[in-house]
Structure 1
Amino acid sequence: MSRDVLTVGSTMRIPLLYRSEYSQWIERFVNYLEEQTDGEAMINSIKNVSIAGTTSTEQPPLKDKSMWSDQEKRIQKIDRLARSLLIQGLSNDIYSIIDSNKTAKDLWDALARHMLGSEYGEQDRKARNMMRF
């Protein structure tokens, strides 16, 4: 299937990450999330929030799931959905490198570290610089 076909109607389909197109994929993926129910909350989950409303640098609360408030349950559900959608946009070879991350934010950050620190991230940066001229 052509890459062009995958990007048309990107609100209908989760955009797939191609190794050399990470920066474009981020924009397409965030646009995709914006069109989903609870899209802003999912974007917040991947960019700012880790477990149960804590930032990724804080320790998550050690609380039994049966004791979670409705808000904590909602945040967990949104995080699981955001993580699931994120995983679906990754190829198996990329996912297998970062699959140990349990929250959407941690997975998002690991993906950024991997893509920006890899040879593919370097190709992406070079391509962006070439397009500026």
Structure 2
Amino acid sequence: MRILLLYWGEYSQWRERFMNYLEEQTDVEPMINSIKNDPKFWTAQEKKTRKIDRLARSLLIQGLPNDIYSLIDSNKTAKDLWDTLERQMRGFEYGEQDRKAAILYEYETFKANEGE
């Protein structure tokens, strides 16, 4: 199974698929922990497995097209990358939903002028 590429407007579905992909990996708990929790809260054992964070970050990057990755490439940990990606994608999805709602409202309230 390979990592699916993230497309604009499909973050929620991609996120679920990515987490399902991670659950199939061998070090699933430490890997998900490295994505969801900041390294300063890691236990001594988790700090020893810092390579898992690098692997999780690498897997995240593999699912991103260049235009999305270029927006968040300065993040050094899987957690930072994940959070920034979430903010970017959620913001885009909400903006997209607002545009669709505005268009739908405009369509539903459309009235022809006399003579049209």
- TM-score, normalization: structure 2? 0.75
Identity of aligned residues (%): 67
Unaligned 5+ segments in structure 1 are 1-11, 55-68, 128-133
From the superposition, tell whether residues 43 and 71 of structure 1 become closer, same or farther in structure 2 (CA, over 3 Å): closer
Task: Note if contact 2:6-2:64 (Cα within 8 Å) is conserved in structure 1.
Answer: yes
Letter of the 2:95 partner, please give it.
E
Q: Secondary structure at the match of 1:15?
A: coil
Aligned residues: 100
Map 1:1-133; keep pairs closer than 5 Å: 12-50=1-39, 53=42, 71-74=46-49, 76-118=50-92, 120-123=93-96
**Secondary structure at the counterpart of residue 10 of structure 2:** helix
- SS of 1:20's equivalent in the other structure is coil
The Cα shift of 1:116 comes to: 1.2
- Which whole-Å CA distance do the structure 1 matches of 2:80 and 2:86 have between them? 10
Q: Which runs of 5+ in 2 are unaligned?
A: 101-116
Assess, with a 3 A threshold, how the Cα gap between structure 1 residues 126 and 36 changes in structure 2: closer, same or farther. Answer: farther
Task: Provide the TM-score with structure 1 as the length reference.
Answer: 0.66
Q: Report which structure shows greater RCO (CA 8 Å, sep ≥6).
A: 2
Q: Deviations over 1:48-81 (max 9, x none)?
A: 2335827xxxxxxxxxxxxxx765231x111000
Change (3 A) 1:85 1:78: same
Query: RMSD of the alignment, in Å?
Result: 2.4
Larger Rg: 2
Residues 23 and 124, structure 1, Cα contact 8 Å, conserved in 2: no
